[in-house]
Structure 1
Amino acid sequence: MSHDWARVRADFPLLQREVHGKPLVYFDSANTGQKPAAVIDATDAFYRSHNANVSRAVHALGNEATEAYEGARGKLARHLNVRADELVLTSGTTFAINLVAYSWALPRLQPGDAILLTRMEHHANIVPWQLVAQRTGATIKVAEISTDGVLDLDALDAAMTPGVKLLGVTHVSNVLGTINPVGEICRRARKRGITTVVDGSQALPHMAVDIPAIGCDFYALTGHKMCGPTGTGALWGRREHLAAMPPFLGGGEMISEVRFDGTTFNDPPHRFEAGTPNIAGHVGLGAAVDYLDAIGMDAIAAREQELLAHLTEEMRRIDGLRIIGNAPDKAAVVSFLLQGAHGHDLATLLDLEGVAVRSGHHCAHPLMQFYGVPATCRASLAFYNTHAEIDAFTAALRKVRKLLL
């Protein structure tokens, strides 16, 4: 299906603004995605017309709030091709991975066990496992990558020794854009009895994700990167895992009955959703799923690959510019350095030209150490970006290069 991408772009109010007197070029969608009016309106409508707590009251507003919240769970489940009762709604990927770390891994791991991670993981898929390892006596192993930013599957195989109980792997690198073959990785891990946790934060905005086809044990995702509100996300887990896991937090909603001599917990997924959730946020996430599905994830993927090809070609024309990560299969994320320019200085001067990119370590210190750099700049695109913006960005890069060199 062909799309009028200019009309799609017009759905995003923030993209119409100026920064420092110049049209905004927003190339920081890997940090957070912009929100279409449909998502903003859905969140606003909830507070204006339906605001109440979920599963706490039998009055009309309470029923409406519960239906809207559970409706969002159902929309997301269909988007991922999973059952709604296998989907725990969370504040994002960080919470989701910590849930697995403390409810699944902490009760099971012991000295002599190992947790296998890849060099390209975000801190959210490193630090929780370090904390669990410290408390259980387990160790952390690392699967390395090539200088092009490609995961070495032979090295990964070699690292899957009998002591490895869990593998954490990112679906798409937030720094390199590398799309890992998570289906094949999970297949190899499953043959060895290794439980798999996939960080899907950077995958959901860019492509269709069919969780059963991947074959993982857990899949974590963040809503705000896929056009949804901040503070939203989910954890998908195999039903047998969720049923065997103790709650991560205690409080309201996650219980069936409470007595002072003991508590009976609710069934999953509500067992893991203690307290009042971000109801309006997840209603907005449901609207984001509707919006993305209306465009079609295959169309979004094709559009972003077209933009990535243009961006990469134009950046390679700039003298002294080094692209970090050149995997043959990657999402629309480009990390780069400009010879003689500090990343923060470069990003600051680009901002004065109206261009928003991120600079820093991108919550991936081990990856920066691998490349021997303290930080990079990162341009990350979405389907609402344009070829004209890419040209404006590269023109700004050339202007900044002259100022700095």
Structure 2
Amino acid sequence: MAQIELTGLAKAFKTGPVFSDLSLVAETGEIVVVFGPSGAGKTVLLRLVAGVAEPDAGAVRLDGRDVTDAPPETRGVGMAFQNFALFPHMSAYDNIASALTAGRCSPEAIKGRVEAVAKLLKIGHVLQHQPRELSNGQKQRTALARALAAEPKVLLLDDPLRNVDAKLRYEMRLELPSLLKASGSTVLYVTQDYKEAMALGDRIAVLLDGGLAQVATPAQIYREPASLGVARLFGDPTINLVPVSPQASPAGPRIELGGKVLHLPASYAHAAGTDCVLGLRPEAILAADRPEPESFPVEVVAVTPLNEKTVLLLRTDDGRELLASEAGNEEAPRRHGPAHARFDAAAILLFEAAGGRRIAPRAA
């Protein structure tokens, strides 16, 4: 049985609709990351699940029970907010214990649970501190500990790493998946950081333009985005998008790029005669000093080493700029001038120019 089941949810404010007919299922113990740009309605969705806001239409079911009209305190949901929402007059210990105290647990049980969760989150040494004495990272972990302490069946996390420094955010990306799995909770995790979504989610639900544009595993989202809109949201540097019009030929579908005729895999033969957009991830573009089969001339305009990779800005003979990335380090040569580029045909993406839907390859 699904732990979270959202069916046909709709919500609007005076400024307009947030989303409509939104449906999503999260299985028991699953981490589903709700990802999308600012203003897409991610926090609104969590509020509907928590019961602190009411949907205009649709249903919320938790553990098989319809809770659409149930008050928040009866839902068995834990929630951590991006602004921490700690009680300022309580110590970190009392903040974490607040849900257990409200549930009338024994002092011994409360102490054991608070100390266990604090140990997991490495905040045992600040339990007697007031919120004003905590760093942002410690506040974030305290808010998360409070949500975890009551062992909720459903855990809602609203961009909990947004206000912490880069080092801690990186560490928490590594630690959170195992921590959340150990909790046994079913998790809806909101973020607008695609790297966080990729690192934490069993599946990612992309909230875009008033609905869920795609719900899939991180690998599927990256390699097989449902639309241009989804493809643009994932990747650093961002995906290269080139308008093309594939044409049929005896050697397979072909396009023109940088003044050269290049061939697409035969699996895209059905796209011939359609106005398309070719999507090329930067890592799928390979630059070389000499021409190779299916390569096209470019000028290397700029080279930016970024430790684990090097980003190259390329310009084709017809003035189109492309970003390529390759393994590299700070000592990578800052080469410039004429070169030749080709793309990994197995990694290309093709989208309809009208509407942006991805064109899936077909068996030849």
**Higher-strand-fraction structure:** 2
TM-score, reference length from structure 2: 0.29
Q: Which has the larger radius of gyration?
A: 2
**Higher-helix-fraction structure:** 1
TM-score, reference length from structure 1: 0.27
